[in-house]
Amino acid sequence: MEFFAVKGGRPLEGTVAVHGAKNSALPILAATLLARGESVLHNCPDLTDIQTALEILAALGCRVRREGRTVLVDTTDCTGTAVPDELMGRMRASVLFLGSLLARGGEAAASWPGGCALGARPIDLHIRAFQALGTEVLDREGRLLCRTRGLRGCRMALPFPSVGATENAMLAACGAAGVTIIHNAAREPEIQDLQGFLRSLGADVRGAGTGEIVIRGGVPLHPGEYTIMADRIVTATYLCAVAAAGGEGEFFGSDGAALLPVLDALEQTGCRIRREPDRVRIWQAGKAAGIGSVTTGPYPGFPTDAQPLLAAVLAGGRGETRITETIFDSRFRYVESLRTMGARIRVEGTTAWITGTPLRGADLEADDLRGGAALTIAALGAEGESRILSPFHIDRGYERLEKAFQALGGRIRRMNE
């Protein structure tokens, strides 16, 4: 059994480079299918979710190789149209390959996607986007079959600014005849990164970062070369670790512009933060103070992925905070483990009330990616020793998280028994 062994109670100090963004790399890897030939992606993180995406590409007939942080994808011989069930079950973002497959060849098939158990995460918005573009979508005993005789541009309005649905609509629209306009599109920085890569392929896409994205489809595409943005949630994780344990840290690769709500919340806890063009610095002396209330929301609101990270800081601090979750209905799964450490947290529906108190080490189960990272943060700030079980969930979104925390002086090791 693999686990993280953590000894808390020591302030952190050091410098760490932030790796590429998982939530940018996944749709960009899917987008390589749009152009025949070899595309080159720099700063592509080495994560289990990324490995799953590369295996999907290989199963579809692509040639894939990694050279350090650079991944090369040659789609010349790609003839597959179905994502293997086993790979689809590993990761929810596997659904993003459907939009690219439809644009490439007019056909795509996959089982329902897997991933972290965060409650209801329907893909009906993806399906509605495909249908609006002229795709027939059938459900055959839990398997999605998507076919089109020709995608056609359209206007579509998403009832909710879903990141995945926006990305899938953008990918499919690149292969549609005419102009597609996506209203109420997600505005996340990762959407802008996808637009950047699509433009490197020669696609005519504009508006990412706003609520309206316009794609002129049918444009001849060619392979591209692109550098993936730094991961803003990984940056938030490192910042929250220092906020929980105390000390100071410097994190290269991000200027923090995509994390303003998180930086604001951390400053309210008592942290000092300085943004520079290529890095973010943080100082924390003493225990984090309660900050009143935080509500998650679509970008530019407080990111749901950072909610467990901030909760771990506040649980071991002082004072009271109310956190309301508006994106995922089971995002508070990590709370029970924090209670095992002595945390005083009350959850009612979509709201958690946190009263800061000293935490103690315990054996903890990482049930999902961000919840597992939050437990690791809490363990670094707690007194005594903790074991974080099932770190494979954490590995889905972090390159050897224990190594980053070791670089900050954290007493953490990956162990087997």
DSSP letters spanning 272-291: EEEEETTEEEEEE-SPPBP-
- State the pLDDT at residue 114: 56
d(Cα 415, Cα 363) in Å, to the nearest integer? 14
The neighbour count for residue 124, using CB atoms within 10 Å, is 10
d(Cα 78, Cα 58) in Å, to the nearest integer? 8
- State the pLDDT at residue 235: 98
Q: Which residues of the chain have pLDDT under 50?
A: 115-121
- State the pLDDT at residue 102: 98
- State the pLDDT at residue 112: 78
d(Cα 144, Cα 82) in Å, to the nearest integer? 10
Dihedral (CA of 12, 333, 311, 228) sign: positive
What is the signed CA dihedral for 276, 281, 287, 293, rounded to 10 degrees?
40
- State the pLDDT at residue 93: 86
Q: For residues 248 and 282, is the Cβ–Cβ distance under 8 A?
A: yes
Helix axes 232-245, 307-315, angle to 10 degrees: 0
The CA distances from residue 127 to 24, 57, 139, 168, 169, in Å, are 21, 21, 11, 9, 9
Helix axes 307-315, 260-268, angle to 10 degrees: 10
Q: For residues 22 and 71, is the Cβ–Cβ distance under 8 A?
A: no
What is the signed CA dihedral for 306, 268, 254, 8, rounded to 10 degrees?
-70
- State the pLDDT at residue 143: 86
The neighbour count for residue 148, using CB atoms within 10 Å, is 22
The CA distances from residue 352 to 16, 169, 308, in Å, are 31, 34, 11
Q: For residues 296 and 338, is the Cβ–Cβ distance under 8 A?
A: no
Reduced to 3 states (helix: H, G, I; strand: E, B; else coil), residue 208 is strand
- State the pLDDT at residue 89: 85
Provide the whole-model pTM: 0.96
List residues with catalytic annotation. 116
